[in-house]
Structure 1
Amino acid sequence: MGKYLFLHIILLAFLQLFHAQENGVVALDLPVRNGLRFNRYAINPAFSFVREQNKYISFTNKRQWVQFDDAPQTYLFSYSGRFRENIGAGIGLFQQDYGVLTTFGGTLNFAYNAVLNSNSNLTFGVNLSFYQSGINEGKVVTNFPDPSLNNIPNNSVIAINPGINYGTTFFDFGLSVNNMVAYNFSTSQMLEDNPGQSVQAHVMYTGYMNTRGFLDQSKFSALIRSEFMSDNTVFSGIAMLTVPKGIWMQAGYNSLYGVSGGIGLNLTKEIALEYNYEQAIGDLSGFGNSHEITLAYKFKKAYRFNYADDDDEEALITPSKRTKSIAARRKVASNSNRPRVVRQPRTVKENTVKENTVKVDTVKVDTSAVTTNNKEIEQVTETPTEEIKAEEVARLQAEQEAKLKAEAKLKEEQEAQARLAEEARQKAERERLAKLAEERRIKAEQEAKLKAELERQRQIAEAARLKAEAEAKLKAEQEAQQAKLVEEARLKAEREAQEKLAEEARLKAEAEAQAKLAEENRLKEEAEAKAKAEQDEEIAMQELDGVLIPVAKDRPALELADLTVLTEKAKIEQQDLLAQLKAKVASKQQDLDDLKEENDLSEQGIYNTAPKAFKSISAENREIEAIKEDIDNIIKSQSSQLSELERLYNERLKSVTDRSDKINVFYLQKINELKSQQNQALVVKANLLSELESISVATEVERKRRIKRAAYDNEQARYQKDRETLKLLKQITPLSNEPLRPEDFDSGEILSNIQILKGVNHTDNGFYLVVAVHTDVNKRDEFLRKAISAGQTNIDFFFDVNSSKYYIYYQKYDYIEAANSAMQSKSSAPYNTNMSVVKIED
């Protein structure tokens, strides 16, 4: 039980850290981050070529966070390196275990280099990976079935990772895209929103140390990387120092996984061993340390490539080589007095054990001139006699053969002793393993007893926990109810206080507005009185139907007087109509505010007053339309009268050309005043109509909102009633004593094909095996009662509001394949006669 829960925790952590996708799909992520010598193509596809001289076969095992059982483990087998002057390639097989999740696959790598000039290279690379991921059932240890594991399918994925690198004498700069394309063959879909997809940039430096002693000609490499993902950015760096003695050391840092260090050495010229240690820090510090070990074989190169590190390294074990003796050719001279010239052999410096050399006695000869390429070179040589040389060579060959025979005999004796020692070791190991197996058996029995006792105690603790939870839940519900009442009272008090403050502010604003309006009216009256007094002083005025006009006797002035009276009356009527329209707009705004407040309070669960009934707006709209029509007519009439006033004014100017004439000045001012008032009326009308349109739109939204809320409340009530009915039926319905037959069940509507339903409330998406469809509640309850009495305790149903139908089912699946399989293997229960598949989706 404990191990199974731990596996769940580990699996959850790995699905997050290693970018596991939905349904168990894992994003490709080989943990090659702690070394710069092997498996470099997994860092960037171009690295199988960049600064590479050899080909390697390597086997790597990485164990992460070893303090946990079933912690992540990766096995990687690779064959990669430089194959031609402009081509690098590789192939890798890998397996990654994350608890109960296993991924197995392979990677093909290809890199091509373009030489830009003697010190510049541009390398393109690509990794093509194919892998399968899924649950390793052999690692699942559980005392009870877990349906969540059954829903995780096996997936086959192909991924493409391209990369590019630009190299100079000492530096390399590059980019790569991890999981640029990831296609799931199991679902025939691309992996969308793949968190394992990232863009990686790097800078690498490679140089040599010019010093003395042990570190002379040591190579220093450093790589800095940044990996940009959709929700995170990871920075890392690693540095490696390679000593010509065949030893290298490296250290690194990764902002996600922590710090690392490693060491490697050449066991022989071809075989190398490397170990890396990684310590988690930061958010993952609790996971502990990780270990990585690599065993590699290096193929000897036929010749030296360009743009490569041709390091001549030594090894821990260097086989001795037999020196081949080369007999000097006898040189015959045409003149016996001419000295013989013997070329001295060229000494080649190698990083291996020094070979035995043949020493011969030499004698001095006289110097003579030898002509070569038309140049005279004087050379003093030492040459042995032929007889001494032959004897010395023969003696050395004999000694060498004797030495080899002795070494062979000694080797045979050592091998015999090693075999005896190995047999003794294997016998001791078998005895140790047998003893260890017995100890483990005894320990397993003790652990089984302890586990049983712990399980019994766990059950007791679980019962106590459930009881405590029930009591805590009841207490929490009571406290929540009390808190709800307190909160409602607080909200009511706050609302009343806010309403009071708003009313006080409104009354204050109205008072200020009334005072301002009174002051404006007073000033206006004073100005009018002053103007009237000034006019009265200059010209005689008369009042016609409440309108003051100048006294005149000419025909144009009389016509202007009559039309001015009509225009003033129309102005008053126009202002009255605008006031009526403004009152209607205010009424509609108040209705909108009331309706919005009612909806807001209803959504908060507050019902202080009964819902305001919808009033018929037809009559109100007719009144508004009539007022709008009257306003349009009066505005049109007023515009015509103003045009006529201007015409009469211009006609009087023809007879009374003096524009300073008091009567002309009066009517010019009156015309301008009426025009200004007409323009204001047009603006007021436009604003009122715009405001009315906005209120109408907002009112319609609030009306629909209220209707929707009422429908939601009805739907909630129906759902609660349905749940209570189903619960009651399961409690009171006994099992039938007589077996039921298919004809005893009324399945209602029979579905022939897979039906898709959308917008079904309170029901999860998936594929449901429906056994009955009813619109009548009584028929629904009768089918449920009989199914329960037949032994089907998992019977359930959902309601489709669009068709007003109840769909009865007892099985639900996430995938169509599982639903079809269950359909084909359905039992012969009497309620399964008309079973069909219904899919619910958003």
Structure 2
Amino acid sequence: MRKHLLIALIFCSIIRVVSQEVVLPPDLRQYNLTQYNSSLFNPVFSLERNNPQSLSLWVRWQWQQVDADPTTVFANYTHRMNRNASLGVGFLQQNTGLFLQTGGVLNYAYAFDLGPDMSLALGMNVFGFRQELADDRFQQNPDIGLPFPESGTSFVVQAAPGIQFGYGNFSLGLAVENALEYNITERDRNNGSDEKIFLGSTSMAIPVEGSGLLEGGLIRPMVFVKTIPEMDTQYGVNTLFSTDRFWVQGGYHNFYGISGGLGGTFFGKFSLGALIEIGTSADLEAKEPSFEIVTSYHFGAPDLRRKIIGFDIEEEKPPVVIPEKKKELNRKERKALAEAEAQRTRDSLSLIRRQQDSLAQARRLAAEEKNAQLAKDAQRRKDSLEAIDIIAAEKAKQNQIVT
């Protein structure tokens, strides 16, 4: 990693002196990923922002230079294993301006419930990519001893862990883009913290009441800071407003400038959005705008319970549950929830009616039994009176005979 960073810095310095080009940072340009594929920002985001299960594609065209676009492509499938764990696999290609990196990404994240309103999520992205010079038109000056690989191509493995603490709707996260990096071809790895790229972020999920197009609204502001070896610290802010049918986002990055984007979800399954970013610094005045396109296909209804930290549910409960934040559900979930509530109401009313019928039947049986007993008692009294009358009549008859 140190060798590659030295190469990048020296090479970019030469380019800047000769052609006054802007030095492009070698890190991932993933700070605008707020709605889909955001596990590239922090691996734990696959638990709450990748809309599991989904297949998503993100493409970024940096500055639109002819035949020299530092382009990024990220295609990713995210799968929710259960309410606490998620798994993802993807394809990544990035042009840093110096290197072209092409390979795959594996993602895993797990969340621990610390209490009713607290959680701790851990995640990991593992990258494996082929790295080569992005511009083969550059010919190395034999008088400059730059340590370029003889083959010009190498295979690199990176481990990028992430962590996020959540309290209520507030979250605080940290990710390291290259906590461990090993160049298999050159048998070289980064050893010091001065070679690592750190990314810290804090965000808040704010539900919004609304109906129609605003149904299921959520505002998520986020502030982030990134440190890159031998380069200026990056910082910025972005805000996402999303509903079941569309989303709008805007942001600012101290190096790349301001950005704005929007997108929509169609038929409850397919999402498509675009973003434009314009440089605001003097160094980027001559640069064309950058563009991003994101598209996603959802294979199932998303489990958004982790958007609001602290919600808990036992696994043995029925599959249809009532989250504390109903406004987080999409139309299909709200319909299923309403049907379940209606069915529970019908079941409760049916049980009450059965209990009332049973009680009424018991009362009828008791009344009938009581009436039967009273009838028997009356009949016995009647029979007794008739027997007494017969006996009296017989005695009177005998007295007449004797007289």
Q: TM-score range by the shorter chain?
A: 0.5 to 0.7
| TM-align CA RMSD | 3.6
Kept after mapping to 1: 8 A contact 2:57/2:296 = yes
Distance 1:305 1:221, change over 3 A: closer
Look up the match of 2:234.
Answer: 234
After TM superposition, the structure 1 = structure 2 runs for residues 413-812 of structure 1, keeping only pairs within 5 Å, are: none
Select the structure that is richer in strand. 2
Kept after mapping to 2: 8 A contact 1:71/1:98 = no
Distance 1:288 1:60, change over 3 A: same
Aligned with residue 96 of structure 1, among 91, 94, 97:
94
After TM superposition, the structure 1 = structure 2 runs for residues 135-174 of structure 1, keeping only pairs within 5 Å, are: 135=133, 140-141=136-137, 151-152=148-149, 153-174=152-173
- Counterparts of 2:50 and 2:95, CA distance in 1: 31
Deviation at 1:141, TM superposition (A): 4.8
- Counterparts of 1:347 and 1:255, CA distance in 2: 46
* Partner SS state of residue 274, structure 2: strand
After TM superposition, the structure 1 = structure 2 runs for residues 309-320 of structure 1, keeping only pairs within 5 Å, are: 310-312=328-330
Distance 1:229 1:73, change over 3 A: closer
Deviation at 1:196, TM superposition (A): 6.0
Kept after mapping to 1: 8 A contact 2:169/2:307 = no
Deviation at 1:30, TM superposition (A): 2.7
* Partner SS state of residue 287, structure 1: coil
- Residue 175 of structure 1 aligns with an amino acid whose one-letter code is L
* Partner SS state of residue 269, structure 1: coil
Deviation at 1:111, TM superposition (A): 0.7
Deviation at 1:42, TM superposition (A): 0.9
- Counterparts of 2:285 and 2:274, CA distance in 1: 21
Deviation at 1:53, TM superposition (A): 5.1
Kept after mapping to 2: 8 A contact 1:32/1:39 = no
- Counterparts of 1:239 and 1:374, CA distance in 2: 56
Deviations 1:19-52 (A, max 9, x none): 3xxxxxxxxx332221311111111111111466
Structure with more relative contact order (C-alpha pairs < 8 Å, separation 6 or more): 2
- Counterparts of 1:164 and 1:347, CA distance in 2: 36
Distance 1:219 1:373, change over 3 A: same
Pair 1:34-2:32 in alignment: yes
Deviation at 1:73, TM superposition (A): 1.0
* Partner SS state of residue 105, structure 1: strand
- Counterparts of 1:174 and 1:70, CA distance in 2: 34
Deviations 1:721-759 (A, max 9, x none): xxxxxxxxxxxxxxxxxxxxxxxxxxxxxxxxxxxxxxx
Look up the match of 1:399.
Answer: none
- Residue 173 of structure 2 aligns with an amino acid whose one-letter code is G
Deviation at 1:228, TM superposition (A): 2.8
Pair 1:224-2:231 in alignment: no
Look up the match of 1:203.
Answer: 202
After TM superposition, the structure 1 = structure 2 runs for residues 308-387 of structure 1, keeping only pairs within 5 Å, are: 308=307, 310-312=328-330, 348=339, 372-374=354-356
Q: Which has the larger radius of gyration?
A: 1
Look up the match of 1:243.
Answer: 243
Look up the match of 1:469.
Answer: none
Query: What is the TM-score with the length of structure 1 in the denominator?
Result: 0.33
Kept after mapping to 2: 8 A contact 1:158/1:184 = yes
Deviation at 1:186, TM superposition (A): 2.3
* Partner SS state of residue 76, structure 2: strand
Query: What is the TM-score with the length of structure 2 in the denominator?
Result: 0.66
Percent of aligned positions with the same letter in both sequences? 24
Distance 1:140 1:187, change over 3 A: closer
Deviation at 1:75, TM superposition (A): 1.6
* Partner SS state of residue 18, structure 1: coil
Residues paired across the two proteins, number: 307
- Residue 200 of structure 2 aligns with an amino acid whose one-letter code is A
- Counterparts of 2:243 and 2:262, CA distance in 1: 11
Pair 1:296-2:260 in alignment: no
Look up the match of 1:281.
Answer: 280
Structure 1: which 5+ residue stretches go unaligned? 1-5, 20-28, 315-345, 350-369, 378-842
Deviations 1:175-196 (A, max 9, x none): 1222112122222122366876
- Residue 266 of structure 2 aligns with an amino acid whose one-letter code is L
Look up the match of 1:17.
Answer: 24
Kept after mapping to 2: 8 A contact 1:234/1:255 = yes
Distance 1:371 1:295, change over 3 A: closer
- Counterparts of 1:151 and 1:259, CA distance in 2: 35
Deviations 1:292-349 (A, max 9, x none): 1122111114x856424753159xxxxxxxxxxxxxxxxxxxxxxxxxxxxxxx9859
- Counterparts of 1:36 and 1:83, CA distance in 2: 22
Look up the match of 1:82.
Answer: 80
Deviation at 1:69, TM superposition (A): 3.8
Deviation at 1:261, TM superposition (A): 0.6
Deviations 1:659-699 (A, max 9, x none): xxxxxxxxxxxxxxxxxxxxxxxxxxxxxxxxxxxxxxxxx
Pair 1:119-2:117 in alignment: yes
Distance 1:196 1:250, change over 3 A: farther
Kept after mapping to 2: 8 A contact 1:90/1:108 = yes
- Counterparts of 1:96 and 1:348, CA distance in 2: 47
Look up the match of 1:259.
Answer: 258
Kept after mapping to 2: 8 A contact 1:52/1:308 = no
Kept after mapping to 2: 8 A contact 1:35/1:250 = no
* Partner SS state of residue 267, structure 2: coil
Distance 1:59 1:216, change over 3 A: closer
Deviation at 1:230, TM superposition (A): 4.1
